[in-house]
A and B are shown apart, each in its own frame.
Chain A
């Protein structure tokens, strides 16, 4: 069975600085997708970034980028120029190629951005 591990329950960063959130996963599949979701205090689940396993190039979305290391099964999220609005829970999620859309989530990392 696939598993997703986020080893940092809580992190903090100063505004305007850069922070990296870690995520590792375990799977025997070769074709899969990885995601980072943001959950602010409003409780909404917001897709931050997505990576297809068959793509070697790391995904980027404005201030958010990933470091995808397929052989190491690692998928970290880097947030540059952190803003107060980035304060949230961040969940790493895995979707297998044949899963029909089902997501497997990590336990989350609570990120606090301090002024």
Chain B
């Protein structure tokens, strides 16, 4: 049972390039989300999804797109990377929406924008 898998582990991009961070879970979880972690800032919510075909914005959505075509996958797209998007990105999932379900986190993707 792999849990939440994020790829790649590390990535370096040039300003203006696009890329997709992958997130997949094999636990049949309804809820999935993306956070970014910056030094001294804790984790902040970018986008989340409560099921296939349903997504919504979090605290810091600008510059990012998401889609949820399957229960398992929740990719995060940077359309035109900016240095301000240099961060560590975490994907998380939980069994169902609602507050009593523990979140499972992936191991993170470290992204550097030059």
Q: A residues bordering B, Cβ < 8 Å?
A: 4, 9, 31-33, 42-45, 47, 50, 52, 91, 93, 95-97, 99-108
Q: B residues bordering A, Cβ < 8 Å?
A: 31, 33, 35, 40-45, 48, 50, 58, 88, 90, 92, 94, 97-103, 105, 107-108
Cα–Cα, bound, A27→B94 (Å): 23
Is A101 within 8 A of B103, CB to CB?
yes
Is A32 within 8 A of B90, CB to CB?
no
By a CB distance below 8 angstroms, the chain A residues around B99 are 31-33, 95-97, 99, 101
Min CB–CB distance A66 → chain B (angstroms):
16
Is B43 within 8 A of A102, CB to CB?
no
Q: Which of B43, B90, B101, B108 has the largest count of A CB atoms less than 10 A from its CB?
A: B43
Q: Which of B48, B90, B100, B107 contacts A102 (CB 8 A)?
A: B48
Min CB–CB distance B94 → chain A (angstroms):
5
Complex: chain A residue closest to B90, CB-CB: A45
Cα–Cα, bound, A50→B100 (Å): 9
By a CB distance below 8 angstroms, the chain B residues around A96 are 99
By a CB distance below 8 angstroms, the chain B residues around A32 are 99
Is A100 within 8 A of B48, CB to CB?
yes
Min CB–CB distance A89 → chain B (angstroms):
9
By a CB distance below 8 angstroms, the chain A residues around B33 are 101-102
Cα–Cα, bound, A43→B91 (Å): 13
Cα–Cα, bound, A98→B90 (Å): 22
